[in-house]
Amino acid sequence: MLPDIDGLDQVPYLTSDLLTVDEPMELRQLPKSLLIVGGGYIALELGQMFSRFGTEVTIIERNAQLLAHGYEPEVGRSIGESFAEEGIQVVTRATARAARQQQGEVVLMATAGGKERQFRAEKLLVATGRRPNTDNIGIERAGVRVTERGAVAVDEHLRTNVPHIFAAGDVIGRQHDSQMATPVGSRQGGIAGNNALSGKAMQTVDHRVIPRVIFTDPQVAVVGRTDAEAVAAGHRCWCNTLPMSLVPRAGAIRDTRGVIKMVADAEMNEVLGVSMVAHNAGEVIHEAAMAMKFRATVQDFIDLLHVYPTMAEALKIVAISKYKDPAKLSCCAE
């Protein structure tokens, strides 16, 4: 998706695959400086990568923090702090208004903090989100309905309004709580293929538990609902956020950056979501995902014996925080 920036169509800019728009050529030289419009996972992964290669990186984000949509506020703040520590400039509450080329640079005009500001860089990367690509494929000739966001409309079996046509992956967008991610599309493709061709009972998609990882350093890993999403769904929630400094393994490897947050139904105790910013968070989140698949409770995380010291112990420690101060625990989180 492209933001409404005056003059954007007149300047060269990079997309998430590091191709210059309208040019079949990859970026081949490391830019000295890079402006990134957007504060989602693509902006974070590519921004940190370029920064560590030696590029001066500035991220322009219109919201109050990074990862403003679909993530806990604590997650955006935590990764923002890590970026600031390594010299990545993050400008929040900033809306890009206009772009132009000047003396071999891209000049971006933005409103930030109520003031007009000018940003300059050798290259511009637009990372403001993705949308289903259903343009110019003639789908309308088959009578297949698409949503107002351009996604192919499907039911819980991934069947379109044309009975013999099924759709899966990014092309269905975020319907039925789907995520536009490779493993999700792969799973959906198998279900759609079964439903279209096997002659067996229809399978349904279940997007209640979809783990996601942003491959920054530290990593961002989430599964399930955020606190706000759980409340919107009618739950009375218990939730708590702890710094990774309370996790013995984080101290042992001298990397205490990040946080972990758990969201649970206050009455049933079922864990509804886990968010984590930490070293190896992408490995840890699968324990939470498997537990949530079988509707584990906070007590289940506490009762499970965790190896000491591991990063996965963070799950047990944050669960224990419902009942006691984890800062006063002995070793092995007991």
- The b/e string for 233-264 (b: 16+ C-beta within 10 A; e otherwise) is eebebbbbbbbbebbbbbeeeebbbbbbbbbb
Give mean pLDDT, residues 309-330: 94
CA atoms of 110 and 59, how far apart (whole Å): 12
Residue indicated by tokens 């030696």: 54
Give mean pLDDT, residues 9-34: 77
Q: Which of 56, 50, 33, 34 is nearest to 126 (CA)?
A: 34
Give mean pLDDT, residues 319-329: 92
Q: Are 35 and 58 in contact (CB under 8 A)?
A: yes
Residue indicated by tokens 């996790």: 247
What pLDDT score was predicted for residue 332? 67
Structure tokens at 8: 């954007």
* Residue of higher predicted confidence among 334 and 128: 128
Domains of the chain (ranges plus CATH)?
Answer: 8-126 (3.50.50.60), 139-197 (no CATH), 212-333 (3.30.390.30)
CA atoms of 311 and 168, how far apart (whole Å): 34
What pLDDT score was predicted for residue 240? 98
pLDDT exceeding 90 applies to what percent of the chain? 79
What pLDDT score was predicted for residue 21? 54
CA atoms of 173 and 171, how far apart (whole Å): 5
What pLDDT score was predicted for residue 98? 95
Q: pLDDT tens, 92-104?
A: 999 999 999 998 8
Residues in a beta bridge with 57: 34
Q: Report if pTM > 0.75.
A: yes
Give mean pLDDT, residues 295-300: 98
CA atoms of 172 and 154, how far apart (whole Å): 7
Does residue 20 register a pLDDT over 60? no
Give mean pLDDT, residues 289-302: 98
Give mean pLDDT, residues 61-80: 96
Give mean pLDDT, residues 80-85: 97
- What is the pLDDT confidence band of residue 333, given thresholds at 50, 70 and 90? low
Identity of the residue numbered 89: Q
Q: pLDDT tens, 174-198?
A: 888 888 888 999 999 999 999 999 9
What pLDDT score was predicted for residue 61? 96
Give mean pLDDT, residues 127-149: 89
Structure tokens at 297: 């409770």
What pLDDT score was predicted for residue 212? 96
Tell me what the pLDDT averaged over the chain comes to.
93
- What is the pLDDT confidence band of residue 24, given thresholds at 50, 70 and 90? low
CA atoms of 158 and 175, how far apart (whole Å): 10
Give mean pLDDT, residues 154-174: 95
- What is the pLDDT confidence band of residue 170, given thresholds at 50, 70 and 90? very high
CA atoms of 225 and 207, how far apart (whole Å): 11
> What HEC string does the chain produce?
CCCCCECHHHCCCECCCCEECCCCCECCCCCCEEEEECCCHHHHHHHHHHHHHCCEEEEECCCCCCCCCCCCHHHHHHHHHHHHHCCCEEECCEEEEEEEEECCEEEEEEEECCEEEEEEECEEEECCCCCCCCCCCCHHHHCCCECCCCCECCCCCCECCCCCCECCHHHHCCHHHCCCCHHHHHHHHHHHHHHHHCCCCCCCCCCCCCCEEECCCCEEEEEECCHHHHHHCCCCEEEEEEEHHHCHHHHHCCCCCCEEEEEEECCCCEEEEEEEEECCHHHHHHHHHHHHHCCCEHHHHHHCCCCCCCCCHHHHHHHHCCCCCHHHCCHHHC
pLDDT exceeding 70 applies to what percent of the chain? 96
Q: pLDDT tens, 185-233?
A: 999 999 999 999 999 999 998 889 999 999 999 999 999 999 999 999 9
Does residue 18 register a pLDDT over 80? no
